[in-house]
Copies of this chain bind each other. A is one copy, B any other.
Amino acid sequence: MVFSSRLLEDAVNEFSRLPGIGKKTALRLVLHLIRQEERNVLQFSDTIARLSREIRFCKRCHNISDADQCNICNNRGRKQQLICVVENLRDVIAIESTQQFNGIYHVLGGIISPLDGIGPEHINIDSLVNRAEKEKTEEIIFALNPNIQGDTTIYYISKKLKPLSVKVTAIARGIAFGGELEYADEMTLARSITNRIAVEHYITAS
């Protein structure tokens, strides 16, 4: 691309460094910003600057936070003895959107994956075990992606939790709502048969 303005070129280059944004999309975004009111553009710019300066992580659950402890941990209406363990912040947002979970979280910040060089020491496992002991946690629910890495991580952490008297569970796996049996992979279908539930629970859960 050839630009008539150096500033325009700089802006397009900056935007195209974002994931999934190519040069053409970047140009569209920049031209959109040029047409906006100065006040709105400066506010956008300021929010981005604040991201780098002010974002912190909750000292308790490692979630993104404005203060030492995040809004979710601070909410005394939530069950403080029920911890949901997730891989990252996006999973927290996904679960919060269901409005079905009233406990608190623990963000691992990754998943055990030896092929990617990520071992137990690279993610927030020690702080989870310490926390469960100190806070007298009653139940830990693992909500990790259903794959080998997720299973490995669950297995590793639950062994570490053995000495504590905490109930350890994992979210159910099975055929997704609206899915079709014939297209489900064998592993999912097999597990959904092994972990079948009584119909009375089936109906109250949906």
Contact = CB atoms under 8 A, between A and B. Distances in A.
Interface of A: 1-8, 10-11, 14, 17-21, 25, 27-34, 36, 38, 41-55, 58, 63-66, 70-72, 89-90, 92-93, 96-97
One complex includes copies of this chain to the number of: 2
Contact of A2 (B48, B52, B93): B93
A106 to B, nearest CB: 13
A4 B7 CA distance: 35
Contacts of A71: 3-6
A6 B14 CA distance: 25
A69 to B, nearest CB: 10
A19 B10 contact: no
A53 B7 CA distance: 11
A1 B64 CA distance: 14
Contacts of A4: 58, 63-65, 70-72, 89, 92
Contacts of A33: 18, 48, 51-52
18 contacts: A2-B96, A4-B70, A4-B71, A5-B70, A6-B66, A7-B50, A8-B55, A10-B47, A14-B48, A18-B33, A19-B32, A20-B28, A21-B29, A38-B52, A38-B53, A41-B48, A45-B46, A45-B49
